[in-house]
Amino acid sequence: MAQDKRQVDAITARDTDFAQWYTDVCKKAELIDYSSVKGMFIYRPYGYAIWENIQAELDRRFKETGHENVYLPVLIPESLLQKEKDHISGFAPECAWITLGGSEKLEDPLCVRPTSETLFCEHYANIIHSWRDLPKLYNQWCSVLRWEKTSRPFLRHREFLWQEGHTMHATAQEAIEETERMLEIYADVCENVLAMPVVKGVKTDKEKFAGAERTYTIECMMHDHKALQSGTSHYFGDGFAKAFGISFANKENKQQTPFETSWGVSTRIIGGIIMTHGDDNGLVLPPRIAPTQAVVIPVVQHKPGVLEAASALRNRLAQAGIRAKMDDSDNSPGWKFAEYEMKGVPLRVEIGPKDMEKAQCVIARRDTGEKIFVPLDQLEETAARLLDEVHDSLYAMALRNLQENTFDIKTVEEAKAIAGGKGGFLRSKWCGSLECELAMKEQAGVTSRCMPLEQSGQEGVCPVCGKTCATDIYWGVAY
Amino acid sequence: MAQDKRQVDAITARDTDFAQWYTDVCKKAELIDYSSVKGMFIYRPYGYAIWENIQAELDRRFKETGHENVYLPVLIPESLLQKEKDHISGFAPECAWITLGGSEKLEDPLCVRPTSETLFCEHYANIIHSWRDLPKLYNQWCSVLRWEKTSRPFLRHREFLWQEGHTMHATAQEAIEETERMLEIYADVCENVLAMPVVKGVKTDKEKFAGAERTYTIECMMHDHKALQSGTSHYFGDGFAKAFGISFANKENKQQTPFETSWGVSTRIIGGIIMTHGDDNGLVLPPRIAPTQAVVIPVVQHKPGVLEAASALRNRLAQAGIRAKMDDSDNSPGWKFAEYEMKGVPLRVEIGPKDMEKAQCVIARRDTGEKIFVPLDQLEETAARLLDEVHDSLYAMALRNLQENTFDIKTVEEAKAIAGGKGGFLRSKWCGSLECELAMKEQAGVTSRCMPLEQSGQEGVCPVCGKTCATDIYWGVAY
């Protein structure tokens, strides 16, 4: 019992201190640990397994849409990084530099990649010659380094894991279609795998990626009503390609410059999962990426036959394609209940002597706490159905949070009042000027999140300058 | 036809210049490319896909034996690297150092990991407290940096991809069992997946890993009779654990030091695959890791129904779990034959109007060139059987190469004659002294590969000092 309390008490309530709650969950659910290098984290087995499951979902979709994985060097020469001006000015302050290799001082210092546009462009310049070589649809799974001043688990690391897609196309139209296709894949994974509803949109010029012509984004709302940018997809036009001298002979044998995209999702999305679904008892994992979808716990496990029965249930679940484990350790059932609750395992399956007499087991849902008595011969179908129900219910709850905390505002004062109060997404018209965008930040404390793809088309007024305009835009406080 | 010739002519014959043949294959089969950073390579889609297939085979076996994946930082503080003396002296000359982060000069320079023993030990010191925390069975997929002076595709990179397992155990016995278990897994993957026979053994003290008590290895023989160390598994005793202050309370609540192992396989093994199975027409891939196991080529593809028939064959193969693709590009069949031959695709499936009339297709084996007429209704079973036969036949050929080029030698002169001639593995007795080991290198030009796990147990004489001794040892020239 002392142990049970320790587990549960260790987590701060969300309403008391959401930031502390978040750090507690990351640490106590053993997702992540600090290392001796400032700002760099250790992805522990449970956290890494979540990432592996997200990777598998994304990677399958990338391959189904014709993408191929590659691996390019982790180091970028300073001279290469400087070839595209907007890009280097965006990333230079965050680069970590290698100046010594072995005992040799390097003449051209090498940067640990903060992102790989420059490396891909250099490679593409070598391998793209003809229209037959296009499109090139490459993706890379790797880690990147950004020398941030502050850090938080998953949300801001000096080193984080991600995927970066980099593609080249014969026409601007094809490249724009690719950029949008990848945004749709990200939205699909967010909503249908991670149970996180998204707002899809386009970033303002101020917020777009360094060197991009247009940046698409998916924005998610966290439990505390702040925004998390959860994936971005960039259209580069032919800017990088020109800077790197990439060209191809078209079907008429004329030289042409190709058009480029890049797109990425990182382990930051795990922070989003935690802050979207977690509760005061800890983590709540969306079933489709939960490393353990069902944990089987034998009750009164020293009684004859109980361990065997529990083990049989685990095996049947695994056989049915459900990621299941049994905990037959000598910890008390109460300790185990608290432990797997904290770790966010979607379903807990209990079986004891009394259940065995009745040829049943008990399944408890992590999201609602509801307990269901399940005849043993209906185990697999019930578990599979419940996993889908948990997904649907997590999604519905997150969608309600998003909808109930998105507000149409007409003035800066309204924006300020909400942003300074319970927070939320603020939807308004925008005249398109940088001045008004900066004024919103200055006066209301919010930044632009995106111009949503779904535009109402109706006219209104910009809350800052009062000009009549038609563009819808979302504002918010972001992680 | 001009195109056909270009493809095939571009590869140097193995007997003319094996090193050049190797580089040609790496480059022309589009496995790898050079980058602008000396010694760092680009893993192209075809090369990376081979690595993904090897990863999947290894990762499944790691997980089946209870291992969990983690990800630790890419950077190691100099102070941490210095905690184990043998280790730092082994790796210091090969480290790349970060001295600048953003605009800040670092007081404690950070090394890009050459291997992660020190990081794992630091983490283990934080999370291992009780016997209940053991064993810890962690593995990491990542890239490592070693500032080598020379480089060759796959065999020697400044940055390469690998997995590194790091485990902690309550007893020395358990740790040794783990070390041997992982060696067996490596041997299993080499032999049964990559069709590469291995010699399993233990390294001499001179050749063991920096900081290890004992290093196990699998050694493979390449087509040119040189050796490739293809995987290693290290037993550390409690040396690192003591240096890092790792201890746990045993069941009697007494503090004890745990015992450690580490083990790794890298993309170097792709070099091994190329040099074991390749021939003068290019790459020959073992079917179980070939990114494309069967390529379907329509013949006279403008004739009605041919493309549809080819496409149906591809779909049936894919449905049967065979990695299949169809090439319906407008290149000539001859060009395609040469292309997929060079790329080492195990099976080529041809279908044209005449085949369609006879309700058959033709399957050509990459390894033997043999052509088999296959009734369409036997496609799937024939292809699956042929893939197994190609595997078996590649293995048998490699085993014959190993056996026919392993020589029992009794004197340094014999060793020198063979090493200076056609080369091979040299098996002799060894007295165990460093002096005799160094003399073999000095006088015969060979290094010790391993003391094989299978020892004859019979006495003989050390070829250098002439002392009577019983230890069998392998010598060779290594990549």
Instruction: Please list, in sequence order, all residues whose beta carbon lies within 8 angstroms of the beta carbon of residue B323, skipping any fewer than 6 positions away.
Output: B290, B291, B292, B293, B294
Residue A126 in contact with partner chain B when CB distance is under 8 A? yes
3-state helix, strand, coil in chain A (%, to 5): 40, 30, 35
Per the CB < 8 Å rule, is A40 touching B122?
Answer: no
Residues in chain A with CB shorter than 8 Å from the CB of B109 are 100
Q: Which of A274, A243, A275 is nearest to A258 (CA)?
A: A243
Mean pLDDT calculated for residue range A93-120: 93
Q: Do B126 and A45 touch (CB under 8 A)?
A: no
Question: Measured between alpha carbons, how far is B439 from B446 in angstroms, rounded to an integer?
Answer: 9
- B5 pLDDT above the threshold of 90: no
Question: Going along B54-155, which residue ranges are E strands?
Answer: 68-69, 75-77, 96-101, 104-112, 136-145
From residue A292, alpha-carbon distances to A97, A420, B254 in Å are 40, 39, 34
Q: Is A4's pLDDT higher than 70?
A: no
Q: Do A100 and B101 touch (CB under 8 A)?
A: no
Q: Are strands A259-266 and A255-256 parallel, antiparallel or unpaired?
A: unpaired
Per-residue pLDDT, A379: 98
Asked if pLDDT for residue A10 goes beyond 90, the answer is: no
Sign of CA dihedral B129, B133, B134, B136: negative
pLDDT of residue A9: 58
Instruction: State whether residue B99 sits within 8 Å of chain A by CB.
Output: yes
Task: Tell me which chain B residues have a C-beta less than 8 angstroms from the C-beta of A113.
Answer: none
Contact B73 A35 (CB under 8 A): yes
The band of B315, judged by pLDDT with boundaries at 50, 70 and 90, is: very high
Q: Which residues of chain B does A76 touch, with a Cβ-Cβ cutoff of 8 Å?
A: 37
Distance CA B301, CA B386 (A): 25
pLDDT at B89: 83
Asked if A123 lies within 8 A of B42 by C-beta distance, the reply is yes
A122 Cβ contact partners less than 8 Å away, ≥ 6 residues apart? A80, A244, B35, B36
* Shortest alpha-carbon distance between residue A47 and chain B (Å): 8
Contact B80, A36 (CB under 8 A): yes
User: Which residue in the set B112, B123, B142 is minimally distant from A33, CB to CB?
Assistant: B123
- Mean per-residue pLDDT, A353-371: 97
pLDDT one-digit tens code per residue, A165-209:
999 999 999 999 999 999 999 999 999 999 999 999 999 999 999
Instruction: Check whether A224 has a pLDDT greater than 80.
Output: yes
Coil, helix or strand at residue B451: strand
**In chain B, which among 193-252 make CB contacts under 8 A with chain A?**
none
CB contact under 8 A, B37 and A94: no
Which chain B positions have a beta carbon within 8 Å of A44's beta carbon?
Answer: 70
Write out the two tokens for B276: 């074991």
Instruction: Mean pLDDT check: name the lowest of A107-121, A430-444, A457-471, B8-22.
Output: B8-22
Q: Check CB contact under 8 Å for A45 and B70.
A: yes
Touching check for A124 and chain B: CB below 8 Å?
Answer: no
| Claim: this prediction has a pTM higher than 0.90 | yes
In Å, how far is B220's CA from the nearest CA of chain A?
26
Residues A262/A267/A270/A271 CA torsion (nearest 10 deg): -100
Which residue in the set A72, A145, A158 is minimally distant from B42, CB to CB? A72
Interface of A with B in 30-69 (CB under 8 A): 33, 35-37, 40-45, 48-49, 51-52, 68-69
First vs last C-alpha separation in chain B: 37
In the stretch 153-182 of chain B, residues with CB closer than 8 A to chain A read: 158-159, 161
CA distance, residue A122 to nearest chain B CA (Å): 8
Closest-CA residue to B26 (of B121, B141, B157, B185)? B157
Q: Are A164 and A115 in contact (CB under 8 A)?
A: yes
Query: What sign does the dihedral A471-A472-A475-A479 (CA atoms) show?
Result: negative
Give residue B318's pLDDT: 98
Contact at CB, A71 and B127, closer than 8 angstroms:
no
Question: So what's the pLDDT on residue A3?
Answer: 42
Whether A355 shows a pLDDT value over 90: the answer reads yes
Which residues does chain A have within 8 Å of residue B73's beta carbon, measured at their own beta carbons?
A: 35, 37, 40-42, 159
Cβ count near B79 (within 10 Å): 11
Cβ pair A73:B122 closer than 8 A: no
Work out the pLDDT band at A93, boundaries 50, 70, 90.
Answer: confident
Burial class of residue B131 (count of CB atoms within 10 Å of its CB; 0-12, 13-18, 19+): middle
Q: Do A100 and B99 touch (CB under 8 A)?
A: yes
Residue B90, pLDDT score: 82
| pLDDT of res. B9 | 59
Select, from the ranges A101-115, B70-84, B186-200, the one with the highest average predicted confidence (pLDDT). B186-200
Q: What are phi and psi of A248, to 5 degrees?
A: -140, 155
A335–chain B Cβ distance below 8 A for any pair? no
In this prediction, residues B256-261 reach a mean pLDDT of 98
Name the helix (H) or strand (E) containing A69: strand A68-69
Nearest CA in chain B to A76: B37
Side-chain half-sphere CA neighbours of A439 within 13 A: 15
Report the residue of A33, A62, A68, A70 to disrupt the B interface, i.e. the one with the largest count of B CBs within 10 Å. A70
Nearest CA in chain A to B267: A71
For B110-120, what is each residue's pLDDT tens digit?
Answer: 999 999 999 99
Determine the residue among A30, A42, A145, A329 to mutate to test chain B binding: the one whose Cβ has the most chain B Cβ atoms within 10 Å.
A42
Give contacts of A52 with chain B, Cβ < 8 Å.
69
- Whether the per-residue pLDDT at B13 is higher than 50: the answer is yes
State the nearest Cα–Cα gap between A170 and chain B, in angstroms: 18
Nearest to A70 among B44, B102, B119 (CB): B44
How confident is residue B88, by pLDDT bands cut at 50, 70 and 90? Answer: confident
**Mean pLDDT, rounded, for B261-277:** 98
Closest approach of chain B CAs to the CA of A2, in angstroms?
18
Instruction: Note the pLDDT tens digit of each residue in B206-216.
Output: 999 988 999 99
- Please tell me the distance from the alpha carbon of residue A105 to that of residue A107, in angstroms, as a whole number: 7
Lowest mean pLDDT among B78-92, B192-206, B209-223, B444-458: B78-92
Q: Which residues pair with B218 in a beta bridge?
A: B200, B231
| Contact of B411 with B430, CB cutoff 8 Å | no
Q: What is the DSSP letter of B113?
A: P
Confirm or reject contact between A150 and chain B (CB < 8 A). no
CA distance A112 to chain B (A): 9
Q: Tell me which of A84 and B463 has the higher pLDDT.
A: B463
Q: How, if at all, do strands A96-101 and A75-77 pair?
A: unpaired
pLDDT surpasses 90 at B83: no
If one compares A1 and B446, the residue with the highest pLDDT of the two is: B446
State the nearest Cα–Cα gap between A334 and chain B, in angstroms.
18
Q: What angle do CA A47, A162, A86 make, to 5 degrees?
A: 145
- Angstrom distance (rounded) from CA B387 to CA B285: 11
CB contact under 8 A, A33 and B127: yes
Please state, in angstroms and as integers, the Cα–Cα distance from residue B78 to each residue in A36, A157, A297, following that order.
Answer: 11, 20, 46
For B71, the closest of A145, A158, A161 (CB atoms) is A161
Q: Which has the minimum average pLDDT: A100-109, A222-231, A307-316?
A: A100-109
Spatial CA neighbour of B338 closest among B366, B371, B306, B361 = B366
CA distance B455 to chain A (A): 39
| Residue A300 pLDDT > 50 | yes
DSSP H helical ranges for B65-171:
78-81, 85-91, 117-127
Six-digit token pair at B441?
């290198």
What is the per-residue pLDDT for A5? 42
Contact state of A35 with B102 under an 8 Å Cβ cutoff: no
Asked if A159 and B74 come within 8 Å (Cβ–Cβ), the reply is yes
Look up residue A350 and give its two tokens: 């209990």
B161 → closest Cβ in A51, A71, A126: A71
Which amino acid appears at position B388 of this protein?
D
On whether any CB of chain A is under 8 Å from the CB of B72, the answer is yes
- Look at residue B2 and tell me whether its pLDDT is greater than 80: no
Instruction: Report chain A residues whose CB lies below 8 A from the CB of B142.
Output: 143
What six digits make up the tokens of B67? 């291992």
CB contact under 8 A, B123 and A35: yes
The verdict on B96 touching A (C-beta cutoff 8 Å) is yes
Q: Do the Cβ atoms of A367 and A393 come closer than 8 Å? A: yes
**Which candidate in B3, B33, B35 is best for mutational testing of the A interface (most A CBs within 10 A)?**
B35
CA distance B134 to B168: 7
**pLDDT over 90 percentage in chain B:** 93
Distance separating the N- and C-terminal Cα atoms of chain A: 37
Q: What is the pLDDT of residue B1?
A: 35
Size of interface A-B (CB pairs under 8 A): 150
Residue that has been written with the tokens 């036809």 in this structure: B1
ipTM: 0.96
Q: Give helix B379-404 / helix B268-277 axis angle, nearest 10°.
A: 90
Backbone angles phi, psi at A346, to 5 degrees: -60, -40
Contacts of B123 in chain A (CB under 8 A): 33, 35, 42
Tell me how far apart the 2 most distant CA atoms of chain B are, in Å: 81
Contact B120, B138 (CB under 8 A): yes
pLDDT at A6 over 70: no
Mean predicted confidence (pLDDT) in A10-26:
95
Using CB atoms and an 8 Å cut-off, which of residues 128-147 of chain A contact chain B?
138, 142-143, 145, 147
